[in-house]
């Protein structure tokens, strides 16, 4: 199943905040939805890529909530806060996955 996802970033001093709005458009429960802040880069064509498969999650990231479930038609907003120095000069993005949810 695919969730509708919108993310917005805001930087204040040494911290960045990622606010993610999730919407379950399906008629099925979205179970065990996990959010991660990840380090990204951009190639010459402007396409984002992850830094590596093992060292791309920004840690520590303090999420208001995580590993959530969304009822059919439910919309939920979740925010993470993390230090910009932990990005190592890279851009940030959000990854959403779940037990029965496609990774985006």
42 or 66, which is more confident: 66
Supply the pTM of this predicted model: 0.86
Paired residues of 62 in beta bridges: 81
pLDDT (0 to 100) of residue 90: 85
- Structural domain boundaries in the chain: 4-97
Mean pLDDT of the chain: 90
More confident residue, 46 or 16: 16
27 vs 34: CA distance, rounded Å:
20
What are the φ and ψ backbone dihedral angles of 86, each rounded to 5 degrees? Answer: -75, -5
Handedness of CA 100, 32, 83, 5 (dihedral sign): positive
pLDDT at 56: 86
Domain 4-97: CATH superfamily is Immunoglobulins (2.60.40.10)
């Amino acid at each position: 199943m695919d969730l509708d996802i919108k993310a917005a970033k805001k930087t204040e001093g040494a911290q960045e905040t990622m606010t993610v709005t999730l919407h379950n458009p399906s008629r099925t429960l979205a179970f065990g939805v996990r959010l991660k802040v990840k380090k990204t880069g951009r190639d010459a064509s402007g396409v984002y890529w992850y830094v590596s498969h093992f060292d791309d999650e920004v840690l520590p990231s303090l999420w208001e909530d995580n590993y959530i479930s969304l009822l059919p038609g439910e919309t939920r907003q979740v925010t993470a806060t993390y230090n910009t120095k932990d990005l190592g000069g890279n851009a940030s993005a959000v990854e959403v996955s779940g037990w029965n949810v496609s990774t985006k």
